Chains A and B, each alone.
Chain A
Amino acid sequence: AQSVTQLGSHVSVSEGALVLLRCNYSSSVPPYLFWYVQYPNQGLQLLLKYTTGATLVKGINGFEAEFKKSETSFHLTKPSAHMSDAAEYFCAVSGPLVGGGTSYGKLTFGQGTILTVHP
């Protein structure tokens, strides 16, 4: 079984400020973790993913996330927010296709966090 909790359905920051979007997960198999961004009336775009290896993952648009197994967290950060970062962000967890039991690589999503960036 797996689940994702995103802390804060809305986050508001000023342009140039640090962006921190929180994600905690639970998983009965080794987790693969993802962050997606969605702009209004558009599809999902992958920001970054963690599968194995280095726990600090760098993604597109200056975002990064760190997998912390002891804290079951995968928080998304960006040092300096831009107006163009305003969107909804989703954290997701899956098991691996191999060794993931019956998870079959199914993604379980958090409820999403809407990021607002103020001038």
Chain B
Amino acid sequence: NAGVTQTPKFRILKIGQSMTLQCTQDMNHNYMYWYRQDPGMGLKLIYYSVGAGITDKGEVPNGYNVSRSTTEDFPLRLELAAPSQTSVYFCASRSSGNTIYFGEGSWLTVV
């Protein structure tokens, strides 16, 4: 059981470039989330999804987009990368039994 898989683990982007952070879970969870972590700020919710085809904004959605075409996949898209998006990104899914599974994180630097 792979759990929640995020790729890539590390990435350096130039300002204005675009990229997609991939997130896949094999547990058939409906609820999935994207967080970003900045020093001293804890984790902030970017977007979430309650099932395939349904997504909504979290606390800090500006500069990001998501899609949820399948139950398994919840990619996060950065359209025009900015230095303020330098962060660590975590994808998570939640079971009906209230166990939350986190991916291992993606370290992104925008220069």
Chain A residues with CB under 8 Å of chain B are 4, 9, 32, 34, 41-44, 46, 49, 51, 90, 92, 94, 96-97, 104-112
Complex Cα spacing A36 to B106, Å: 18
Contact B104 A43, beta carbon cutoff 8 Å: yes
Contact B94 A111, beta carbon cutoff 8 Å: no
Give the secondary structure class of A's interface. loop
B40 contacts the other chain (CB 8 A): yes
Chain B residues with CB under 8 Å of chain A are 31, 33, 35, 40-45, 48, 50, 56, 58, 90, 92, 94, 96, 98, 100, 102-105, 107
In the bound complex, residues from chain A placing their C-beta under 8 Å from that of B50 are 104
Q: Kindly name the residue among B43, B45, B58 whose own CB sees the greatest number of chain A CB atoms within 10 A.
A: B43
Contact A104 B31, beta carbon cutoff 8 Å: yes
Contact B43 A43, beta carbon cutoff 8 Å: no
Contact B45 A107, beta carbon cutoff 8 Å: yes
Q: How far does the Cβ of B24 sit from chain A's closest Cβ, in whole Å?
A: 16
In the bound complex, residues from chain B placing their C-beta under 8 Å from that of A94 are 98, 100
Contact B40 A107, beta carbon cutoff 8 Å: no
Q: A43-B104, A105-B94, A109-B42 are in contact. List 10 more A-B contacts (CB 8 A).
A: A42-B104, A42-B105, A44-B102, A94-B100, A104-B50, A105-B31, A107-B35, A108-B45, A109-B35, A112-B42
In the bound complex, residues from chain B placing their C-beta under 8 Å from that of A109 are 35, 42-44
Closest 9 CB pairs of A and B: A109-B42, A109-B43, A43-B104, A111-B42, A105-B94, A44-B102, A43-B105, A105-B31, A51-B98
Contact A90 B43, beta carbon cutoff 8 Å: yes
A43-B90 contact in complex given A90-B42, A107-B45, C-beta closer than 8 Å: yes
